[in-house]
Amino acid sequence: MGAGSASGTSGASGADWPLWEVFVRPRRGLAHTHAGSLHAPDAELALRNARDLFTRRGEGVSLWVVPAAAIAASSPDERDPFFAPAADKPYRHPTFYEVPDGVRHL
């Protein structure tokens, strides 16, 4: 199920089909979201299996399947340094700016 299963693809067993990560765009959703993962021999079967597995009850109208091996993920070890710049640059946030009372549509 997890995002980041790219790091946990089936190590020891070469016998399994490749792992695919599945993204679903809900009926009225704006973007595809990660739904889970599955094994399939190729993209076409991955799509069919993803349809049966993740959209059996009208969960979505669009599916993406991506080989898990193609995903690169940020490392939790460098979570702080990697994402730090935002915190010391408060002027990147709209709440940084003072607006006089009574000004509208701003």
Partner 1 sequence: MPVTDDPATTAALARFERAVAAETRIEPRDEMPDAYRATLVRQIAQHAHSEIIGMQPEANWITRAPSLRRKAILIAKVQDEAGHGLYLYGAAETLGVGRAELLDKLHTGRQKYSSIFNYPTLTWADVGAIGWLVDGAAITNQVPLCRCSYGPYARAMVRICKEESFHQRQGYELLHTLARGTAEQRAMAQDAVDRWWWPSLMMFGPPDGDSPRTERSVAWRIKRHTNDELRQRFVDICVPQAASLGLTLPDPALRFDEARGHWEFGAIDWDEFRAVLRGEGPCNEERLAQRRRAHEEGAWVREAAAAYAAKRGGRGGGEGEEVAA
Q: Which residues bind partner 1 (CB under 8 A)?
A: 1-5, 7-20, 36-39, 41-45, 52-53, 56, 66-70, 73, 75-77
CB 37 within 8 A of CB 20: yes
| Burial class of 100 by CB neighbour count within 10 A (0 to 12, 13 to 18, 19+) | exposed
Select 17 or 83, whichever has its Cβ closest to partner 1: 17
Select 48 or 89, whichever has its Cβ closest to partner 1: 48
Give me the least distance between CB of 106 and partner 1, in Å please: 37
What CA–CA distance (Å, rounded) separates 47 from 64?
Answer: 7
Select 41 or 58, whichever has its Cβ closest to partner 1: 41
Helix (H, G, I), strand (E, B) or coil at 89: coil
Name residue 60's amino acid: G
Give me the least distance between CB of 93 and partner 1, in Å please: 24
Give me the least distance between CB of 26 and partner 1, in Å please: 14
Give me the least distance between CB of 84 and partner 1, in Å please: 18
Radius of gyration of the chain (CA): 20
